[in-house]
Amino acid sequence: MKRFPLLLGLALATSSLVPLAAAAETPKQEKSAHPNIAHAIDALERAIADMQKAPHDFGGHKADAIRASEEAVRQLRAALQYRASVDTAQGK
């Protein structure tokens, strides 16, 4: 009887990992399914690289723009990951 809570906890913990593993297998598919998001990520990454090479700090605005662009990339990747998890859950 003492094993039941342990087994239940183990089952719940491992079952919650399944959607994450499945979602991790489909980012390439999600990028091809959502090319506008993929293009936006690529454009932002190029812009970040260009800003980092800029010779001046532009009164701190360059650093702010880089941080905002990096956050935008994180959000767009999260959007693709979310979409992948939803598609996986729906069996797509």
| Whether the predicted model's global pTM rises above the 0.75 cut | no
Number of neighbouring beta carbons within 10 Å of residue 91: 5
Please name the residues in contact with 73: beta carbons below 8 A apart, sequence gap of 6 or more: 41, 44, 45, 48
78: three-class secondary structure by DSSP: helix
- What is the tens place of the pLDDT at every residue in 2-47? 554 544 454 555 444 444 444 444 667 878 889 999 999 999 999 9
10-to-53, 54, 60, 72, 89 alpha-carbon distances in Å: 49, 51, 49, 36, 21
